[in-house]
Amino acid sequence: MNLATLRAAAFRTLTPQPDVQTALSALGFLQADPIRAPARAQDLTLMGRVRGYRAGDLERLYPALDAEEDMLPNYGFFPRETQKLLHPREVGVTRIEREHPELLDEVRGLLRERAELHPREADTLIGRGRVGNAWGGQSSATTRALDALHYRGEARVTRRVSGVRLYGPAPHLAELRRDPLPDAERLRGAVHLLAALYGPLPEASLGYLVTLSRFGFPHLHGELRAAFKRAAREELAGAVVDGVRYVWPAEWNLEDVPAPRGVRIVGPFDPLVWDRRRFEHLHGWAYKLEAYTPAAKRQFGYYALPVFSGEKAVGWANLKGEGGELKADLHFLPGVRQTKTLASGVEKELGRYRAFLGLA
């Protein structure tokens, strides 16, 4: 076992899938992010796995997919088989309930009356003004109430309109409240999901992911940590490589993984690069997402996408659709030979991005 083997094994996440549903089911969790540079994180991730995928396809197809929006360890999309691990979710009293104790019942009443509810409609029918949100801004109180019911599993996202979530009843989660999976099965499943989604990865990184997953299991966080320790010790395969202990699902055979070929440009939330600890150890340099870094202090750019040649990360690209064309600002690490093969691979990959974005 060596770094080259681990780099090649990490590329198993980019296994091509025939369609969006198969890709979502294979991943088990697809992280979402609203920044479009050049497209949202969920679209960038699917573009790397589904041939012919176009930006916005997930939102367009969502109502017909086996897909739900939920939280573990970040916000994103789940097939229902994975979402079973997350509910029932016991949540304490939220800020919106403290400030407007009767509001959740009023919103529950609207959800019982309607198959689908737009936050603006709820605001018109109920209305409680605006309240602070988790990002330091202001949201309508009814929108916060819908978010709280969604997190509790009492509502589901039915679809999005211009990026705005519409909500409806969640009978499949009501059924889980009546007949849930055993807690031990749920927690073990979550740990193994994270190991498969981001593996092979340092054991310390898996522990960090489990810590983040307290948002998915707010009432079982201690038990989740215990499930992680048990899995790392008894259930996952592992090896120490270059002084770092890596873990991965026991059923994987890392010895027979073929070396990746060609050039790939992936988004900053893609499972291939999500864990910055693993990225730096495997590729020898520290990559950062600098969207929230002041412009004068950025090293890579607003929304840099790592560039891979074979299994090695060799640089980064900032991509932007402008005037019907794709503007590409590429940077390569010192010492990377910019051969004709590399240039040809980059141009082929940029062609995929043009098609993905619907550009000339």
pLDDT at 123: 86
Between β-strands 156-161 and 325-332, what pairing exists: parallel, antiparallel or unpaired?
unpaired
Looking at the chain, the whole-number percentage of residues with pLDDT higher than 70 is 96
pLDDT confidence of 90, banded at 50, 70, 90? very high
The residue ranges of every structural domain in the chain are: 95-178, 260-357
pLDDT confidence of 101, banded at 50, 70, 90? confident
Looking at the chain, the whole-number percentage of residues with pLDDT higher than 90 is 86
Residue 134 has pLDDT above 70, yes or no: no
Lowest mean pLDDT among 89-103, 243-257, 291-305: 89-103
pLDDT, mean of residues 149-155: 96
Q: Strand ranges (DSSP E) for the chain?
A: 30-31, 68-71, 75-78, 130-132, 138-140, 156-161, 164-168, 201-202, 237-241, 244-248, 263-265, 305-309, 312-322, 325-332
Six-digit token pair at 222? 């201690």
pLDDT at 133: 45
Instruction: Report which secondary-structure segment, H or E, holds 15.
Output: none
Mean pLDDT computed over every residue of the chain: 93
CA distances from 191 to 42, 82, 324 (A): 22, 12, 43
pLDDT confidence of 250, banded at 50, 70, 90? very high
pLDDT, mean of residues 295-302: 96
Q: Between 1.10.10.10, 3.30.70.890, 3.40.50.2020, 3.30.365.10, what CATH number should domain 95-178 receive?
A: 1.10.10.10
Residue 138 has pLDDT above 50, yes or no: no
For the segment 157-193, what is each residue's pLDDT rounded down to a tens digit? 999 998 899 999 999 999 999 999 999 999 999 999 9
The SS3 of residue 293 is coil
Lowest mean pLDDT among 49-53, 90-94, 287-291, 304-308: 90-94
Residue 131 has pLDDT above 80, yes or no: no
- Burial per residue of 251-285, b for 16 or more beta-carbon CB atoms within 10 angstroms, e otherwise: ebebeebeebeebbbbbbbbbbbbbeebbebbbee
CA distances from 28 to 82, 194, 217 (A): 6, 9, 17
pTM of the entire predicted model: 0.93
